[in-house]
Amino acid sequence: MNTRAKIEDAQVDDYISQLAALEAGKCRDPFAFLGLHQLDAKRSVVRCFIPGATEVKVLTNNSSYGLERFRKSALFTLDFKADDISKDYLLEVHYPEQTVTARDVYSFDSCLADDALYLFNEGTQAQAYLHLGAHQVEIEGVIGFRFGVWAPNALSVSVIGEFNHWQAVQHPMRLHPASGVWELFIPALEVDCCYKFAITTFEGERIEKADPFAFKMEQAPGTASITQARPAAFTLSQADHDKKALRNKINAPISIYEVHLGSWKRREEEGNRYLTYRELADDLIPYVKALGFTHLQLMPISEYPFDGSWGYQPVGLFSPTSRFGGVEDFAYFVECCHREELGLLIDWVPGHFPSDPHGLHKFDGTHLFEHADKRQGFHPDWNTYIFNYDRAEVKSFLLSNAMYWIKEYAIDGLRVDAVASMLYLDYSRKHGEWVPNQYGGRENLGAIECLKSVNTKCYGVDEGIMMVAEESTAWPGVTRSVEHDGLGFGYKWNMGWMNDTLNYMSKDPIHRKYHHHEMTFSMVYAYSENYILPLSHDEVVHGKGALLSKMPGDDWQQFANLRAYYGFMFAHPGKKLLFMGAELAPREEWDHNQQLNWKLLESEAHQGVYECVKALNTTYKSTPQLFECDNKSTGFNWIDGGNAEQSIFSFVRYGRDGVTPLVVIANFTPQTHFQFRLGVPLAGVYQVVLNTDDKEFWGSGVGVVAHKQQLIESKSIASHGFEQSIDITVPPLATVYLQLISGGTC
């Protein structure tokens, strides 16, 4: 039986003080006041603060007790005999139009693991997403959501959402002072509820922030996080894991199709809407497979507020964007990639974040995720904020995010955006606009260690993945192991090759002889890193024009130039990447607001480029000489790299056997060269396996050899330093591959 002892005078001041904090949404330690508390050996008290309630009862041990309202406030309280109430009591809350019965939020003990929080504060927590954020869990037989957020400098933090009418006064959180993490378990809360964290800064300002670890977020213009059961982690069979490891190895054929999901294809007949993840699984994956690509790379799919950023200014790093469906839909897309043995890479953006008020900027009222000094924490090019890589918790946040995609979805790897902007403190800054490191240098030591940690941990979880750096400078050892003082990436984009070769291709053929070195210079450093040759989205936006528009000449010559360039690219050492639409050869640069111009395939010229890309992928994958020794000097040898006058490049590619040659000759002028003698390393019969000037590709159809079999036998005539040579016709603006198929006669 309860003893309704009145609140003693000595307690009144404390109640008034606590009530004021609760009513202001500034309660720093709600568990010290709310819930069940033992007053002494004989008495306990239950206190609850429930705005809008007309009556509150405690249900326990088959008994019901009405709580008393304190001074007409939303604070209800009642004293009990110490043994009259059990910890699992229920609150029956009466509102004007409904009655709700549930466990008291403030009757649950903390369920956060101290060791996990310790690692988070240490900067080594690789799975912080299991501990922070919103998690559907069962505690003491009750299912609900446990919320956790890092906000060490906040005065108070509350969970707000649809379930409490976005009132910061109803669900104040518990602070773990040692870690700066706030936590609260809300029983009976279901999935698909919008929520945020209402944070009171020490200056008294109220700010509302989305959950940095949310698995699901609203699509813009909405800014809330959404309660979501943790996606079931993918578990690949050993056979599937082995296949993934094989397709990502340095001696494997890797041809990547880069995609912006919002503009690859749309449903124009339905208001120009996006395709869903499930529709993309049905349409995009078979399309990429049919074109012969081995990998699909998605531009950033972490939730982002501004479409014009293409995902490169993310807010919800753990949340697949809801533009294309829910978390389960994205998981289906990933599963389809696994099933089709199509490698899946995702763009990852750890270099900066936007200034949206619900995002990471000044998260708890202080510069928590970014440096306070604008010379270190603000990116002048993109008007974004730079992560403070020197802060341990920021390292745990980024490390956990990388691990989330690798471990939970079993994707093939991450392409890390804008690595150069992370490595250099003076990146895009003038003298006096940056702060040197502790040694007086320009290297961002925190970012370097962060990248090393991410690569080490991700490869440690799955050595069969590929971590790719978009790094545009000559930083040494990007793909060298961390143990040997490298950054630990598996691959690096060869931006130098891209810039040089595109500059060469943009020249009129009559002037190309003066720029010959731009096509050969990449071989000076070709083996310094494990390279990917990228023709990415960055080359077809912001007034740069489409690839086709960069090509000189009349209509036929533009298409021929582009096909020859693709042929040269696929023969050059390094893995390959083409941005979506490269196979269609559009004349207009990419527009993220509309789908690719699929009607181009009705044109013979554009269809020819499509067929050429398809043939290049097929030949590439079936020809070991083109991929097995990309990072070894034994895999390449010039036949003639100095023929500037004719703008002809010829070289040999070798596979692991180091014996069987694939001869490549590329002519970058419109002139046809008849009876062209080309030295070859071995005697025998050579077969034309690909000619970008083939009529099938809308080429001129000038035959490399006179007869249809496309076979030619070498002669004992010395040329280009070789004892053997072949006599061929070199087509105009074309790249030709010749495979040694046997010795003897035709």
Active site residues: 417, 470
Residue 630 near residue 575, CB atoms below 8 Å:
yes
Q: Got the DSSP string for 520-551?
A: HGGGGSTTSS-EEEEE-GGGGSTT---HHHHS
Q: Residue 75: is it exposed, middle or buried by C-beta count within 10 angstroms (0-12/13-18/19+)?
A: buried
Position 107: which residue type?
S
- Residue 141 near residue 416 (C-beta atoms within 8 A): no
Measured in residues, the chain has a length of 746
**Residues 533 and 576 sit within 8 Å (Cβ to Cβ):** yes
CA angle in degrees (0–180, nearest 5) for 68-6-94 = 5
Tokens of 294: 């081995």
Q: CA-CA distance, 694 to 594, in Å (whole number)?
A: 32
Contact between 107 and 151 (Cβ < 8 Å): no
Give the number of other CB atoms < 10 A from CB of residue 55. 14
Q: Report the candidate in 667, 665, 675 with the shortest Cα–Cα distance to residue 646.
A: 667
**Cβ contacts of residue 30 below 8 Å, gap of 6+?**
22, 106, 172, 173, 174
Provide the CA 170 distance to its chain's centre, in angstroms.
Answer: 36
* Three-point CA angle 99, 157, 167, nearest 5°: 35
Q: Which of 428, 605, 647 is nearest to 518 (CA)?
A: 647
**Helices 604-622, 277-291: inter-axial angle, 10-degree rounding:** 80
The sign one gets for the Cα dihedral 33, 36, 38, 43 is: positive
E strands within 435-513? 466-469, 491-493
Strand partners, 295: 256, 343
Please report where in the chains the tokens 């990998």 appear, as a residue: 295
Helix (H/G/I), strand (E/B), else coil: 568: helix
DSSP 361: T
Name the 3-class secondary structure at 440: coil
Indicate the DSSP class of residue 408.
I
Q: Which helix (H) or strand (E) holds 295?
A: strand 295-298
Helix (H) or strand (E) holding 721: none
Contact 213, 230 (CB under 8 A): no
Whole-Å CA distances, 10 to 7, 14, 367, 624: 8, 8, 41, 86
Which DSSP category does 107 fall into?
G
CA angle 294, 456, 338 (to 5 degrees): 30
The interaxial angle of helices 555-571 and 495-505, nearest 10 deg, is 150
* Cβ neighbour number for residue 679 with a 10 Å cutoff: 20
DSSP-assigned beta bridge partners for residue 158: 172, 198
Distances 316 to 122, 212, 224, 312, 388 between C-alpha atoms, Å = 23, 6, 10, 11, 18
